[in-house]
Amino acid sequence: MQADAVKGPSSSGRQTTDGRPRRWALAGTGRFGTWTGLLALSAGAAFLTSCAPAASPPRPLATVRSVAAPPPSVASSVYRLAPPAGPFSRAVYSLPVRRREVFITIDDGWYPSRRVLGLMRRRHLPLTAFLLERAMQEHPRYWKAFVVAGGNIQDHTVTHPVLTRLPYSQILAQVKGQAAAIRTLTGRRPLLLRPPYGAYDAAVLRASYAAGIPYVVLWTASVPPGPDGYRGERLGIATRDGKPLRPGEIILMHWDPGLYGALRYLLSVLHRDGLTVGNLPDHFTR
């Protein structure tokens, strides 16, 4: 167990977890070199292009481009997506932004880290945690501290199933169950759902909307963990098109051992590229 880990998962906990993409095509050199790669989701690939209600595959919402000078006020510097009319939630892969910012999202929650909390406080780092209900309930005090440190907690279901393989009633129960638990813990309803494995279809979008969560948030980039989580030597950043990170991208990570080091690595790359970390929920309207 990592030295700073609050507490490891229960013996049964890890069995339902994961959800990480299993296969990444990467190219690059060195731990701190520039890594680029292609997102090659094994479990999620089919689902990522199988979004009905539209017949065509889901696309990123907007062309992302940087702007030379930041606008004068915060209010005018943030695009907020308009909520969908229903009955389907809106799938989002990246965001239109005016500033050179990206968004860090961290899934599951089995290995909370005190060092990550310290990093958030020191760097004013607004992280988004997509938590499983089971993982969240193992460390409720930690997650309250996470919110106080500037983090926000969003819905990743109760037990991490492949939602597209469930009947509608069970999809709804998975999404609603964790939404209720988040509200009980934090006092706030979640605004965003990340379906495990990125697997969604029309039924998932409909259940999410019915559960009061108007956005289903996927990703365009990740810091993929290896077989030993983030503890291995080779860290890299994988982007969907193999190019360096661009403003508006949503980055996937996991609450795995070594997350602190992986975040430090990611922040060093962002700093080098002149990118900052934005607060994801600020870009959505309920």
Q: Given the rule CB under 5 A, which residues bind Zn ion?
A: 19, 107-108, 196
* 47/101 with CB nearer Zn ion: 47
Please work out, in degrees rounded to the nearest 5, the angle formed at the alpha carbon of residue 139 by the alpha carbons of 22 and 12.
50
Q: How far is the CB of 20 from Zn ion (least distance, A)?
A: 7
In the complex, the smallest distance separating the C-beta of residue 281 from Zn ion, rounded to whole angstroms, is 19
Closest separation in Å from C-beta 130 to Zn ion: 7
Round to whole Å and give the CA distance between 129 and 110.
11
- Choose between 58 and 196: whose C-beta lies nearer to Zn ion: 196
In which region does residue 18 sit, left (phi positive, over 0), alpha (psi from -120 to 50) or beta (all else)?
A: left
Q: Please count the other Cβ atoms lying within 10 Å of the Cβ belonging to residue 42.
A: 11
Q: How far apart are CA 197 and CA 175, in angstroms?
A: 14
The CA distance from 213 to 177, in Å, is 12
**Cβ closest to Zn ion, residue 108 vs residue 256:** 108
Q: How far is the CB of 260 from Zn ion (least distance, A)?
A: 19
Instruction: Please state whether the peptide bond connecting residue 87 to the residue before it is cis, i.e. omega within 30 degrees of 0.
Output: yes
What the block records as the tokens of 238 is 């994988």
Tokens standing for 96?
């239109």
Residue with Cβ nearer Zn ion (100 or 254) = 254
CB of 196 to Zn ion, least distance (A): 5
Nearer to Zn ion, 97 or 250 (CB): 250
Q: Is the dihedral of CA 264, 265, 267, 272 positive or negative?
A: positive
Do the beta carbons of residue 182 and residue 147 sit within 8 Å?
no
Minimum CB distance to Zn ion smaller for 97 or for 136 = 136
Closest CB to Zn ion: residue number: 19
Q: How far is the CB of 22 from Zn ion (least distance, A)?
A: 12
